[in-house]
Amino acid sequence: MIIERAVDRPSVVVQPGARRRALGRTTVRGWMFIGPVVLGTLIFNVLPIIPTLVTSFADWNGLTAPHFIGLGNYQEMFSGADPLFSRSLINTIVYTIGYVPVGIAIGIGLAVLVNNRLPGMPVFRALIFLPYVTSLVAVGIVARWVFSDQYGVINGLLAAVGITGPHWLGQPGSAMAAVIITAIWANMGFNMIVVLAGLQGVPETLIEAATLDGAGRFARFIHVTIPFLTPTIFLLLILQTIGSFQVFALIMVMTSGGPGDATYVYIYHLWYEAFTLRKMGYASALAILLFVVLVAITWLQSRLSRKWVFYQ
């Protein structure tokens, strides 16, 4: 017969001082990693807001001494004295509505497509991601060639089947559509990679259980995969919304805000006021307003996310 004896073991007591020192070392190591990022964000993103805010209350052309005018620049925006302000804001909203949901949906579709180990799939992923790491100026130049009404690829394909293609960049409706299509193509690789990372967090056991319960592939995707992807979709929604309000390079290269004011977006208007009309104070007011709008949109998205984003 085996007799077990309880042996009293001395308990280990962690002194409060040792605990504080260990926590302090962990904190220091953490700041060593995130410190450069925080410092860079403060220097290049946060601190410039202060002089921009001050300049927004002045009439300044960038050369002479600024003249304080109080809320004059903001009154010019909202009084209707600048008709291009409202036009640029509307165009930016149209661009955002056309770009963000479609871009995220395509990113999800591509991520599901490449989330397997078929031969050649890494090369396919790299090809999809390639436009994202390419200069937007280069992407815009290629897009102008693709959408050209005379020698463009799209109109060439349409002509081959007897269809006369439109003047993509010369008509108001099609010009904005061409810019949106180009932006989706340029950023779909980023959306794909982010969603692909989110797919790795979907438990295989739940998918197997749903399969055993008779759920088809589409049902498993809607009721199992999508709920686990909602945090990833929420992240993309915030990032792409902010990015869509800051679109500039593609507009500059492809349309220069035209035809007319069809693609005259907010950041293009800000650039035009600052560097063409030399109204630095008014451009600073436009920048501050954009900052406030983006903060408000992000806050609203965060509030609404509580109803549809599910965390494990």
- Res. 7: pLDDT tops 90: no
Whether 259 contacts 172, CB under 8 Å: yes
The distance in angstroms from the start CA to the end CA of the chain is 49
Asked if residue 259 has a cis previous peptide bond (ω within 30° of 0), the answer is yes
- Res. 3: pLDDT tops 70: no
Amino acid letter, 261? D
- Res. 76: pLDDT tops 70: yes
- Res. 1: pLDDT tops 50: no
pLDDT of residue 19: 66
> DSSP assignment of 65-82, as one string?
--EE-TTHHHHHHHTTS-
Q: What is the mean pLDDT of residues 175-197?
A: 97
Place of tokens 């507009």: 251
pLDDT of residue 31: 86
Q: What is the mean pLDDT of residues 249-269?
A: 96
pLDDT of residue 27: 79
The pLDDT tens digits for 53-68 are: 999 999 999 999 999 9
pLDDT of residue 55: 96
The pLDDT tens digits for 22-41 are: 667 777 888 888 989 899 98
Amino acid letter, 42? L
- Res. 249: pLDDT tops 60: yes
- Tell me 277's DSSP state: S
pLDDT of residue 151: 85
Amino acid letter, 151? Y
% of the chain residues with pLDDT over 90:
72
User: Which span out of 23-27, 133-137, 204-208 was modeled with the highest average pLDDT?
Assistant: 133-137
d(CA 190, CA 103): 10
pLDDT of residue 118: 81
| Nearest CA-CA partner of 195 in 255, 155, 240 | 240
Whether 287 contacts 56, CB under 8 Å: yes
| Nearest CA-CA partner of 99 in 276, 246, 216, 279 | 246
Whether 234 contacts 100, CB under 8 Å: no
Going by pLDDT thresholds of 50, 70 and 90, the confidence category of residue 16 is: low
Place of tokens 């410039």: 48
Q: 7 — alpha (psi -120 to 50), left (phi > 0) or beta?
A: beta
Q: What is the mean pLDDT of residues 64-85?
A: 95
Domains with residue ranges and CATH for the chain: 81-262 (1.10.3720.10)
The pLDDT tens digits for 92-122 are: 999 999 999 999 999 999 999 999 888 888 8
The values of phi and psi at residue 10, to 5°, are -65, 130
Vertex 259, ends 175 and 152: CA angle to 5°? Answer: 45
d(CA 156, CA 267): 33
Whether 176 contacts 263, CB under 8 Å: yes
**Alpha helices by DSSP H, the chain:** 16-41, 49-55, 72-78, 83-114, 121-129, 136-146, 153-160, 172-199, 204-212, 217-220, 226-245, 249-254, 266-275, 280-305
pLDDT of residue 219: 93
The rounded mean pLDDT for the chain is 91
Amino acid letter, 94? V
Amino acid letter, 169? L
CA distances from 127 to 111, 134, 190, 192, 200 (A): 13, 11, 12, 12, 21
pLDDT of residue 117: 80
Using only C-alpha atoms, the chain has a radius of gyration, in whole angstroms, of 27
